[in-house]
Structure 1
Amino acid sequence: MIVLLLTALAGGFGGAARFTVDTLLAARNRFSIPIGTLVVNATACLLLGIVTGIAIGHAGADDLRSVLGTGLLGGYSTFSTASVEGARLLRQGRIGAATVHGGGMLLLSLGTSTLGLVIGSAV
């Protein structure tokens, strides 16, 4: 029960962190794509890769992976927002921006996840 409560609490902190990062970046965004979500998801993938890489190498790390991975980083990252942002770009007829947004999100997320796993596995 304590892991469930800690996971929920961590999810709240992750959501607050996402809001903060996205708000700060949105105020300074000069690009034609929503850069805040891209940065949030890339950093979440990197950190989740690190957490997972560490947990794989350490027996009994499941609770920590649940709290940090599912809770904190699950609350921080946002696939649904990225998808809606891409759909909005498409509806606005901004096909190039939508393609850069979606393709960039996928490639950057896969790359940072892989890097995180490599880093975490080395710990």
Structure 2
Amino acid sequence: MTVLLVAVGAAVGAPARYLLDRAVQSRHDSVFPWGTCVVNVLGCFLLGVLTGLPSALFALLGTGFCGALTTYSTFSYETLRLLQLRAWLMAGLNVVVSLVAGLGAAYLGMALVS
């Protein structure tokens, strides 16, 4: 049953990631990956909020939805792409902003429900 809950959450989270990423990125004329940054920070916040849920609900929303919404692989790829383009500042900013904002968002989410 838990695997099904994770799959259902992921089936909603993955398209949500794609649509939100495209919506955010289309509003910026920059090599900085704003879309990925926004979905990852939002996912960190949501996961922080969801930490106290019962295990079945956490499997659906935390592991399934947030797991599919956020994307470490795309973050890594986009950072490497920026390095290949010699956009050193943007690559460094992507790493720092993603880590600091992600950790801050997760902390804020947890603090809101504590």
Q: TM-score, normalised to structure 1's length?
A: 0.88
Over aligned residue pairs, what C-alpha RMSD do you find?
A: 1.0
Map of 1:41 onto structure 2 = 40
Map of 1:87 onto structure 2 = 80
**2-structure distance, mates of 1:3, 1:120:** 24
Give yes or no for contact 2:31–2:82 (8 Å, CA) kept in 1. Answer: no
Amino acid at match of 1:74: G
Map of 1:101 onto structure 2 = 94
Map of 1:15 onto structure 2 = 14
Unaligned runs of 5+ in 2: none
Deviations 1:42-100 (A, max 9, x none): 11000000000x23xxxxx1111111111011010001101110010001111111001
**Structure possessing the higher radius of gyration over alpha carbons:** 1
Q: TM-score, normalised to structure 2's length?
A: 0.95
- After superposing on structure 2, the runs of 4+ consecutive aligned residues of structure 1 that deviate more than 4 Å are none
Determine what percentage of the aligned residue pairs are the same residue: 35
**2-structure distance, mates of 1:47, 1:99:** 25
**2-structure distance, mates of 1:120, 1:83:** 30
- Match of 1:33, SS state, is coil
- Match of 1:24, SS state, is helix
What displacement does 1:31 show? 3.4
The aligned length equals 114
Deviations 1:10-67 (A, max 9, x none): 1011000000001111211133301000100011000000000x23xxxxx1111111
What displacement does 1:6 show? 1.9
**2-structure distance, mates of 1:25, 1:66:** 27
Map of 1:71 onto structure 2 = 64
